[in-house]
Amino acid sequence: MASSASLYSPSYLVLLFTFVAWFAALVDAGNFNQDVDISWGDGRGKILNNGQLLTLSLDKNSGSGFQSKKEFLFGKIDTQIKLVPGNSAGTVTAYYLSSQGPAHDEVDFEFLGNLSGDPYVLHTNVFSQGKGNREVQFYLWFDPTKDFHTYSILWNPNHIVLSVDGIPIREFKNLEATNGVAYPKKQPMRLYASLWDAEDWATRGGRVKTDWSQAPFTASFGSFNADGCAGNDGACNSKGWMNQEMGSGGMSRLRWVQENYMIYNYCSDVQRFPQGLPRECSVN
């Protein structure tokens, strides 16, 4: 039997959870024709291979994006993404849940492009009732441009968990009852993805601009699987993820990611919050 230390070693975790995420996507692969609409881009977004592949492109005139046909109030969403290769500086590939309106809720994955050979920055954020500013950033432990990897959002009444290839990287707990921090639980959200130019801030604070001689830039999406509820109907209660918790194994993997790959956490930025860190930081 493997020791507990070897079970949570980086090499073991990467191999095990990459396989699990790949196998789950293979079994439950969705169909982009049935699940999403290309929402903007004037032809720069394309659904290919009978709905098994979706590509978004960006050139100097426009980016592109898609959105899910359905809205969800809680769910487990997995999407396979292969990011823009080469010199991707200035580009952002966004993948997120969002409701509408000024008091909207939102859960973000944003991949900030970089110069060739430099790592992407995975930027995450959580908005509740219009309040965001909860940025946590990571490097990844693999090259996200070489192959598809699975990026997941678990959203239930207890917490939001963001995962990469089945490995949790961030948890945002529902603390509304105990300390009044608003939690996304009433507004249905739709899934969105886009590829767009953000050279004014995306790479090294905007110091590195987009090299348009490299355009068009293309990000690929290999599958989109959403097991969600449309509202507070009885069907939600039968879902296994509805009450899913992290568990000790999940917490160990979360700590491994945060100790080795987290590069910014708003809850550690005391200069940004001189009057005191946000209330959720004591738990999240």
Residue 259 appears among annotated catalytic residues: no
Annotated catalytic residue, options 106, 171, 199, 280: 106
Q: Name residue 178's amino acid.
A: T
Residue 106 appears among annotated catalytic residues: yes
DSSP letters, 86-123, are S--TTEEEEEEEE--STT--EEEEEEE--STTSPPEEE
The greatest distance separating any two alpha carbons of the chain, rounded to the nearest whole angstrom, comes to 57
Pairing of strands 91-98, 106-112: antiparallel
Residue 179 burial (CB count, 10 A): 10
Helix (H) or strand (E) holding 69: strand 64-72
Residue 223 burial (CB count, 10 A): 23
Annotated catalytic residue, options 71, 110, 199, 280: 110
DSSP, collapsed to helix, strand or coil, labels residue 179 as helix
Pairing of strands 149-155, 91-98: unpaired
Pairing of strands 106-112, 36-40: unpaired
Could you tell me if residue 206 is left (phi over 0), alpha (psi between -120 and 50 degrees) or otherwise beta? left
**In sequence order, what are the residues at sequence separation of 6 or more whose Cβ sits closer than 8 angstroms to the Cβ of residue 177?**
none
Q: Which residues are catalytic?
A: 106, 110
